[in-house]
């Protein structure tokens, strides 16, 4: 046992570093990774804030690519809902950690953001535990034992009236989906 320990120390002295220095190098690499990740998170926060401000002003966001959506919605609840409804309006609804986002997909497969909602999560509770909370909700989605409550759906104001009406009809038809 002592021989192995001496051999290890000799090995590290030959390569010119101690076991502690090796650990410091690993810690430094980890710190760089953490720093880079924190920068990415800060960038995403800024982009999300810009997106929220656009939504609050009722602006229609120009077409998203799939990669753009993933960038904006990095911290999303891991499910997406695609809806093709009776109105034949191709609507896609994505639920994320803080909000629901509603897209309209036009003929050339571009997706336009048309609405959003604030999302509240009540994790691991039964409906009966807080019935008032759920009764006041516009839409409730159950995922396993987790409930996602979606309130106050806002439709982008610069859509044409016919599209807004179709979207409202569609949203009414999926009260519980």
Query: Per the structure block, which two tokens stand in for 132?
Result: 């008032």
What is the reported pLDDT for 57? Answer: 55
Which pairs with CB-CB distance under 8 Å and at least 24 residues apart come from 103-109? Answer: 103/64, 104/159, 104/163, 104/167
Query: Per the structure block, which two tokens stand in for 26?
Result: 């690993």
What is the reported pLDDT for 41? Answer: 72
What is the reported pLDDT for 34? Answer: 82
Phi and psi dihedrals of 87, rounded to 5? Answer: -75, 0
Q: Which residue from 134, 98, 132 is spatially nearest to 116, judged by alpha carbons?
A: 98
Calpha distance 14→57 (Å, rounded): 66
What is the reported pLDDT for 32? Answer: 83
What is the reported pLDDT for 30? Answer: 80
Q: pLDDT tens digits for 164-174?
A: 676 666 555 54
Domain ranges of the chain: 2-49, 61-173
What is the reported pLDDT for 35? Answer: 84
Total-model pTM: 0.29
What is the reported pLDDT for 126? Answer: 39
Type and span of the H or E element at 86: none
At which residue do the structure tokens 């909000």 appear? 99
pLDDT by 10-residue block (mean), the chain, 177 residues: 56 54 68 80 68 55 50 41 45 55 62 52 39 40 39 54 67 43
């Amino acid at each position: 046992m002592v021989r192995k320990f001496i051999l290890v120390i000799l090995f590290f002295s030959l390569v010119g570093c101690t076991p502690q220095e090796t650990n410091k190098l690993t810690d430094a690499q980890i710190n760089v990774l953490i720093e880079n990740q924190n920068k990415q998170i800060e960038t995403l926060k800024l982009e999300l804030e810009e997106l929220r401000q656009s939504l609050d002003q009722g602006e229609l966001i120009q077409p998203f690519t799939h990669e753009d959506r993933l960038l904006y919605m990095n911290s999303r609840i891991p499910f997406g809902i695609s809806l093709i409804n009776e109105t034949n309006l191709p609507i896609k609804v994505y639920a994320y950690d803080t909000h629901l986002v509603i897209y309209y997909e036009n003929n050339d497969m571009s997706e336009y953001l048309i609405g959003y909602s604030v999302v509240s999560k009540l994790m691991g509770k039964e409906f009966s535990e807080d019935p008032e909370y759920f009764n006041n909700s516009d839409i409730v989605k159950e995922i396993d034992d987790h409930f996602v409550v979606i309130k106050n759906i806002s439709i982008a104001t610069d859509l044409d009236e016919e599209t807004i009406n179709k979207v409202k009809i569609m949203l009414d038809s999926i009260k519980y989906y």
